[in-house]
Amino acid sequence: MRRLLASALLPYAKLRNTLSPGLRVLMYHRVAHLAAYDQLTVSPERFAQQMQELSAHNVVSLEDGLRAIQAGPLRKPLIAVTFDDGYLDNLTEALPILQRYRIPATIFVTTQFCDQALSHPRYGSQPTERLHLNWDEVIALARSPGITIGSHTRTHPYLPTISDALAQQEIATSRSEIAAHLQQPVQYFCYPSGDLSPREL
């Protein structure tokens, strides 16, 4: 993933020659200016540079990427853009850049953060500003062309360490809450931190 992000800044011809056929999924979290280094955050300027380079390639929505895979072996590289956790800057910073370069994206939201204006624990228990989307903002994103909202559990647990019942509750509750607010079914789910066990599969 890091190699692909770095290669996104290469000239088109060089990047085209480095990717074999298949679907690559770029995972972002925050697009923001931070005083301290955060490996999950990219500046708006760097993000815009990456999206400008990617716009010369076959960037697709997750739906179109999966449809292409189901249709048979891919003959060209495809790239999908995603965001985890549902940060407010996905709306205020990332969305205008995505729209400028016509890049579709899927945003996976952790629903408790939307309900209670809580912050991811990595940013401390009392952040000085609201970091995550509320439900009105999630709805606004869902209505934006090219944006899909997906589920990322309710509280962002480490799924392999919790009980079967709690894991099922985390996933099902998140999906039902998103569906209720958006008035449409939720098709996509992303494992928190990418962590899963055979049970989750």
Within a domain: residue 194?
Answer: no
Residue 15 lies in a domain: no
200 lies in a domain?
A: no
Where in the sequence is the domain holding 105, given as residue range(s)?
Answer: 24-118+139-182
The answer to whether residue 189 sits within a structural domain is: no
Q: Is 41 among the domain residues?
A: yes
CATH number for position 50: 3.20.20.370
Give the Cα separation of 134 and 119 in Å (integer): 11
pTM to 2 decimal places: 0.83
Residues of the chain with pLDDT under 50: 1-9, 12-13, 199-201
pLDDT score for 196: 52
How high is the pLDDT of residue 30? 95
Overall number of domains in the chain: 1
Residue 152 lies in a domain: yes
| Residue 127 maps to a domain | no
Asked if the structure places residue 5 within a domain, the reply is: no
